[in-house]
Structure 1
């Protein structure tokens, strides 16, 4: 029973740390890389904040 608990705890910690690591790899909002990433993303998937920031940073 304890082995299963340890296994799930380890898995949870691994997933949480992976999420933190992967989110740190995103380009900075407003940068050229971010603008390019958003260009490739379907416009229907953009958030209102992304659309506003795209207009400010990438179009003007």
Structure 2
């Protein structure tokens, strides 16, 4: 089955720590707005605490 040129790639990032959040943000900014890719973040927690702000 040939992939349609209009169908976006699907990227899944597992882990919503600082690295995962940075990655999905950059990928989303670079590829998501143009429709080139659909970027999804999967993490067990629905929230994130940016730990450097706690110090």
Q: Do both proteins adopt the same fold according to a TM-score greater than 0.5, normalized to the shorter chain?
A: no
> Which one has the bigger strand percentage?
2
Q: Which has the higher contact order (CA 8 A, sep 6+)?
A: 2
- TM-score w.r.t. length of structure 1: 0.27
> Which one has the bigger helix percentage?
1
**Rg larger in structure:** 1
